[in-house]
């Protein structure tokens, strides 16, 4: 399978080339050139398969030309080597817990898959690859963990200073060796802009081999389809397909769900659950795309005003807004509504939700009120311990702390302060990495 750019200004490339490049030279995002073809009977067999078996079959159409099947199988096994339970909270409402990986966030799956793919692809290259990534919270920790110690790869992570949680910052800044963390005095959108401008700089491209580990990279994006396959596998009501509510920031996770659905996975409606950064809900409502300044919220990993993966969503539906609206619902909620939901979930179900999961719950509840005959799932994308003080303040209940957090607290922190300019980033990359 080949991969083309959403800007359609450059030739299609292989999976290997798409992974190494990260972003197309014309600054578009790579998309599969065709829908995957799965073995006959695969969808029907999904409920009987292991997560590892599902992962191999889902990823094989994209990667088999560049990854031997045994290598792909090992990569897939590492990417899903932790529980992802479907938990019933009350009648008609379930949570898919995606936070049981090493950094306690859903991004562990994609980051592990991508890091191992890239490590395999660059193993014989004669120059190091620099992974440059912006994070609003969880991506950076997952990328740092996934790439730590990978030979031939240097990782530079930009995060908005003071706008990620304590645990998120520790996960970003307690690695050494090939991991470089940069605290930017600005918003996530500033971080993302700096990264995009660095990729667009021809002089920098001559000095460094840059690639991305954000969900713009196909090896980070495509494995997120697995969450939807796992939901379908474990769904207890075969005659009533679940609607799925996804906390959405850069829209990579929900774009993967739409692609899985388009590829034949039998799931119900998909719901984009957004905080006050409501660019996409307003766009779907009015047909007018208007990005506003990013608003800091308690669900910080979703504080994105210009979601990159909207380009993928529009591309897969031929830029028809009505086609997108027929497949995708979107809601946005304030911090107060999010906090109230966290309290309600705790009081009525005994379940401890993080702020992102609470936004997912709110969007699912809104959808179910309008469609009372259906059941649904919201993705719990981060462990509440990553927001422990906030969760305790809002709900009155402490969050039990996994032992791994104590090890983080006792690790030395390494981060570089930086102003939100591409010149500052370029100077760092040239002086420290090149």
pLDDT at 180: 94
**Cα dihedral value 348, 351, 353, 359, nearest 10:** -40
**pTM exceeds 0.75 for this model:** yes
The percent of residues in the chain predicted with pLDDT above 90, rounded, is 74
Q: Is residue 163 part of a domain?
A: no
Residue-number span of the structural domain to which 355 is assigned: 85-104+220-399
Report the mean per-residue pLDDT for the chain: 93
CATH code: domain of residue 249: 3.40.50.1100
Residue 359 resides in a domain = yes
Instruction: Indicate whether 125 belongs to any domain.
Output: no
Q: 261 lies in a domain?
A: yes
Could you tell me if residue 210 is inside a domain?
no
Domains in the chain, number: 1
Listed range (124-128, 160-164, 224-228, 417-421) with the worst mean pLDDT: 124-128
pLDDT value at residue 361:
98
Average pLDDT over residues 216-225: 95
Better pLDDT: 133 or 32: 32
- Element holding 339 (H helix, E strand): helix 335-349
How many angstroms from the chain centroid is the CA of residue 173? 20
- The answer for residues whose C-beta is within 8 angstroms of residue 318's C-beta and 6 or more apart is none
Q: Which helix (H) or strand (E) holds 141?
A: helix 138-147
| pLDDT of 312 higher than 90 | yes
Confidence of residue 434 (pLDDT cuts 50, 70, 90): low
Structure tokens at 381: 């994308």
Judged against a pLDDT cut of 80, whether residue 32 lies above it is answered with yes
Looking at per-residue pLDDT, the higher value among 106 and 239 belongs to 106
Residue indicated by tokens 């620099």: 130
Q: Which residues have C-beta within 8 Å of that of residue 41, sequence separation ≥ 6? A: none
What average pLDDT does the segment 400-408 reach? 80
160 belongs to a structural domain: no
In this model, does residue 422 exceed pLDDT 70?
yes
Could you tell me if residue 170 is inside a domain?
A: no
Whether 137 shows a pLDDT value over 80: the answer reads no
Residue 160 pairs with which residues in a beta bridge?
184
Residue 322 forms part of a structural domain? yes
């Amino acid at each position: 399978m080949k991969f083309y750019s959403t800007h359609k200004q450059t030739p299609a490339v292989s999976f290997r080339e798409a992974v190494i490049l990260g972003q197309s030279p014309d600054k578009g995002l790579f998309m599969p050139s065709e829908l995957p073809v799965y073995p006959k009977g695969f969808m029907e067999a999904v409920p009987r398969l292991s997560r590892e078996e599902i992962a191999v079959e889902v990823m094989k159409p994209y990667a088999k030309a560049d990854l031997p099947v045994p290598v792909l199988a090992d990569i897939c096994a590492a990417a899903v080597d932790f529980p992802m339970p479907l938990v019933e909270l009350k009648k008609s409402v379930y949570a898919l817990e995606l936070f049981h990986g090493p950094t306690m966030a859903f991004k562990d799956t994609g980051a592990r898959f991508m890091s191992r793919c890239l490590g395999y692809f660059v193993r014989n290259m004669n120059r190091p690859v620099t992974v440059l990534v912006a994070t609003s919270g969880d991506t950076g920790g997952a990328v740092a963990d996934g790439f730590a110690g990978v030979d031939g790869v240097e990782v530079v992570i930009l995060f908005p200073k003071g706008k990620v949680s304590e645990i998120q910052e520790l996960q970003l800044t307690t690695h050494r060796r090939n991991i470089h963390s940069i605290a930017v005095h600005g918003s996530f959108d500033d971080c993302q802009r700096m990264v995009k401008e660095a990729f667009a700089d021809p002089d920098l491209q001559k000095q460094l081999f840059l690639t991305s580990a954000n969900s713009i990279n196909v090896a980070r994006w495509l494995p997120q389809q697995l969450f939807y396959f796992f939901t379908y596998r474990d769904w207890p009501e075969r005659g009533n397909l679940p609607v799925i509510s996804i906390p959405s920031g850069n829209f990579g996770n929900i774009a993967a769900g739409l692609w899985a659905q388009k590829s034949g996975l039998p799931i119900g409606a998909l719901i984009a659950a957004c905080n006050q950064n409501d660019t996409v809900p307003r766009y779907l409502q009015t047909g007018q795309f208007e990005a506003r300044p990013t608003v800091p919220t308690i669900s910080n990993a979703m504080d994105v005003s210009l979601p990159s993966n909207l380009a993928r969503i529009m591309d897969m539906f031929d830029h028809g807004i009505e086609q997108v609206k027929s497949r995708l619902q979107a809601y946005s909620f304030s911090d107060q509504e999010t906090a109230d939901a966290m309290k309600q979930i705790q009081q009525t179900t005994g379940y401890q939700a993080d702020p992102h999961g609470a936004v997912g719950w709110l969007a699912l509840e809104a959808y179910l009120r309008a469609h009372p005959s259906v059941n649904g799932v919201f993705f719990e994308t981060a462990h509440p311990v990553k927001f422990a003080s906030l969760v305790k303040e809002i709900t009155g209940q402490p969050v039990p702390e996994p032992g791994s957090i104590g090890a983080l607290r006792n690790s030395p922190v390494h981060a570089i302060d930086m102003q939100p300019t591409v010149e500052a980033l370029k100077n760092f990359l040239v002086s420290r990495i090149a």
